[in-house]
A and B are shown apart, each in its own frame.
Chain A
Amino acid sequence: MGLRVKIKKVVNGFSLDAEWEIGNELAVLFGRSGAGKTLTLQMIAGLLSPDQGFIHLDERSFFDSSSGRNLPPQERSCGYVFQDLALFPHMTIRENILYGAHGLSKIEREQQAGNMIEKFRIAGLEKKYPSEISGGQKQRVALARALIRKPDVLLLDEPFSALDNPLRAEMQYFLKQIRWEFPIPIVFVTHDVLEAYAMADKIIIYANGSVAQAGTPKEVFTNPASKEVEQLVNTRDRLIQSVESLPCMSKF
């Protein structure tokens, strides 16, 4: 049960070879940029095909190289929140959310849209266009659009990376609140160690195109399986590093 992924893929000289399994929990794919996290999400959603392996959700098979099965993205029922959110600029907020309600009847769509607008605190913005609302509001619209048709799995690709810190914390809290209403596997990609720790039921650490360690945040942070993982999750060193890399520090 849950989401089981075993994939191999070579793109532009980068080689990804990852295997993991999660239940109806929030799993964080954590690693440096270019470690293959987004690539993994794209393959789960069917936007890209692995060279080899399988992707199973519960008893359904999305992809299986041994049987040649490869469902198109339309048939996978994945809610996908893109890093740039990918809200349709020519549609109002309401139209964006309704567009996500594929496969529902007209009455259901209207009803669900009303629910989502309330739940995601979008009321009052329905008639605006994406360019007219704030970053945090856009995040909530993107989440609402991805969740309105009750997908079987939710994929989040660094959804909060464009937000400043207070808003980011607010959105993390918001996601933690609403996720219990959607008992599905959630895959959350981030390269921010604090965000990974704060959000994860389970952390899957990506390094150089493979899974370096997987476990609860506590397990991974207290018992890093390798030097590499230790470097990745060592918050004190990472904090010093990131502070030192601030432009204002170079003057001293």
Chain B
Amino acid sequence: MDNSLFFSLKLSVQVAAIATLFVIIIGLSAAYILARKNFPGKELLDILLTLPLVLPPTVTGYYLIVLFGRNGLLGRHLYDWTGWSIMFTWYAAVLASFVVALPLMVKIARAAIESVDENLIRASYTIGHSEYWTALKVILPLARKGIIAGTILSFARAMGEFGATLMVAGNIPGRTNTMPLAIYSAAASGDRTQATIMVIVFTLICGLFLYAANKLSRRIL
């Protein structure tokens, strides 16, 4: 019993951490592009990236199946090529968490980047610094509050992810059952003791995470 709890907890943290890493890299790039560039279809891209925030996770999960399933639009080619499908692996849990957490980073970081004083960016350009260097040394440091907030919220959302994960990763004990899924299984099968222990442990871990995040961000800001 303790082993399975430990596995689920470890898997939850692992999935959320890796998903957050991708959220930082891709979400921040997307936020920068949406904030600073003009191109046709820009607002459409914003809507596409934000939709998972509004849609029920089951709908997002369904889209992921349509895209990445063994017969999916993208998954089919991957399967033909490698004989491997992401479905029902813990990678799928990472994918699901990533997609539902991404909008939080994109929204918050975009607003933070847009609020950086345009003259500071212009000053950097006239000094001779490239756009990349300016982003690194001026824009991102000045938008750091939003970026940190986006990171914390993304991680929190990824930790709590349930619906889309269930759709694409399943609920396979010892393989893809993250804490929320394991708690659902325990409660559904009437194992109140196990469910209660898991709920308490998960609540404590999440509380601890928020405490650490607050403390860390106060030190950085």
The interface of chain A, by Cβ under 8 A from chain B, is 45-47, 72-80, 82, 84, 86, 88-90, 99-100, 102-103, 145-146, 149
Contact = CB atoms under 8 A, between A and B. Distances in A.
Contacts of B119: 82, 84, 86
B180 to A, nearest CB: 39
Contacts of A47: 122, 125-126
Contacts of B126: 45-47, 73-74, 76, 78-80
A76 B127 CA distance: 9
B66 to A, nearest CB: 43
Interface string B136-171: 011001100000000000000000000000000000
Given A88-B138, A90-B142, A99-B137, A74 B122 contact: no
Nearest to A79: B126
Interface of B: 117, 119-120, 122-130, 137-138, 141-142
A73 B142 contact: no
Contact of A102 (B128, B141, B142): B128
Chain A at the B interface: SS class: loop
Nearest to A142: B123
Contacts of A78: 126
Given A89-B142, A90-B142, A82 B128 contact: no
A45 B137 CA distance: 21
Contacts of B123: 80, 82, 86, 88
Contact of B125 (A74, A89, A99, A145): A74
Nearest to B141: A90
A84 B129 CA distance: 20
Of A74, A84, A145, most B-chain CB atoms within 10 Å: A74
Contacts of B137: 99
Contacts of B138: 88
B127 A99 contact: yes
B128 A86 contact: no
A78 B119 CA distance: 15
A86 B127 contact: no
Given A82-B122, A86-B119, A86-B120, A149 B141 contact: no
Contacts of A72: 125
A100 B120 contact: no
Given A86-B117, A88-B138, A99-B137, A145 B127 contact: yes
A151 to B, nearest CB: 9
